[in-house]
Structure 1
């Protein structure tokens, strides 16, 4: 197929995530759709206030190729649960999966869910139409175009983009566990994961040992008798494979790097700096650059000078340091002592910030993302006449008391 994913990866990262989202929505749908009564303040006594959730209307969902099933159907579940009709546009890069999605969803009438196949021409045509909401997952360049097109009709958008997600391994981390989890997170789907650790920032005291553990787990997970496993995913197309080839500095390769067409073996690069080509764009492939640091404060300062990433990972046994760093950096979401697994909790919102995206979804957040919270105030006949003119000193005192407004001091 498009990515050569093995059955385990398809179940774990595609179908499994879709099934969990469906079950979550079915379990919570009555609660999510029910009107919610909220408290009033004293100014509005007596009255009742409610929040109603209503669908936006017709939603356009544009999904990417790296997890073509999950990233098409999980947003679709939220959109339908919220009561929208949907036009779904899967990526043409993963055209086999796109065709399968269209076939499966053909059980629904087109007026409820319509799947549009095709490439750039179809994308452009769709974006020239008016929608009530647009949900886009993909790269920054197309994300900008989506926002530009949406601005014509002032259509609200939710953008799930990406960026260079850093992974810090501090000197007090469990090196073996860190290497095991980073290798899995980085090379899952051949590195074509928007929240994969893009690069590792390792403390100089543990970097050599960490790299050796990287090598150990790469060989353990993905090789048999020195040969790369057949179920290691492919790069999506020749264009992306060629791009990745250009990011590999052969002088800095300490492991891997063999390439046959769209099959690229895991690569580790050492002694990397921010001026290297591999650090100038999101990698989105099986290349793991390793940088080193001495002082964690310098790392935080450096990262704060970069674009806000979609994900951030920190490995350390020091809980206070972890809390300090989390509060010092801005990013979409992340993990302490793990990678990627924050996505698997439907109670955690998933989304970016800055150039890594806007808005969030998953679970309850998916329902909220695709619906408008409509405020309703219900007033009875009884009321305080304070708000009506003429405004006497007595009424002014009451308003100040209710709004807790203190007398302003004036300077002579």
Structure 2
């Protein structure tokens, strides 16, 4: 009789356990509004739909009401969780109105926040959109978050590699897919212009502070910017770090645990238990301040590094026990499990704690293809982690619920 195949091979033929609940931590179906009607028939339990720019904030808002109303009481969980925010790709459109020293006027603003400066590129400047006021956008996002108690701030972040698309040509307009929501690149040639990182940081920090004020999770975009994102977070975390135990305190805790497990008849057991409880309470103190503090905290309680593409080393910083935000990492089949980035993603997934992993599709169209991408991502992660399929899907579901609901 031939030997049984290893569990990793069995996963490829096992029926996928949609019944456990499969959750998309990051997607963009409002980029193709015609697909929104397909969400109701999807196997995925919940989609977390991101807003990114001016054209899709209202679409995410309206689609959440529409889809969840259609779903009715078929599930205790919403079919859609919305996220409202401005993506770093569109941060150049936002003007900081907090200082009189900032340049005024459309051309002066764009010349200041883009590199190289497009001051001499009259045609390019003429075709750039009108400016958005940062304080007004923060106020609008706050109002939208209030409408949905579990809504996120997202998609926000930093991107060092992005270049603005060039102006629309006649050929571009003639070839344009009318089903696509306006505002994205849509195949246009890229210009030489990038958004200065300092400006991206300013817009990101304003949105992270809002997430802290509202105590909402955040979905973060980071391309070639993991260190820069961490520096922004560290600035906001300063003074709110969780207390960490010294080596001596850890040894005391281990001694207490060992004594309690090895000999519960020891006369000072209660004293040892007290030491253990005191040390654990010290670790929880900052977390408790997140909900008890009269002053809103300047950072989100939970953060998802979406489609994380960095190496293993930075995750040690993000997951350090002193950080007062809980950081999760999500992975998509399209971004993380194809091409040159695949090996790096597998190393990261192996190194992560099992309770900090999420899956996503990062897809612009809802329906069967989105379901397939979620299943592919879940199977890949289960293989890498050595999880049985049902065990792994259950773990991913629990991780998502903790990320969204706390």
Which category describes the TM-score, using the shorter chain as reference length?
under 0.3
TM-score, normalization by structure 1: 0.21
Larger proportion of strand: 1
Q: Highest Rg: 1 or 2?
A: 1
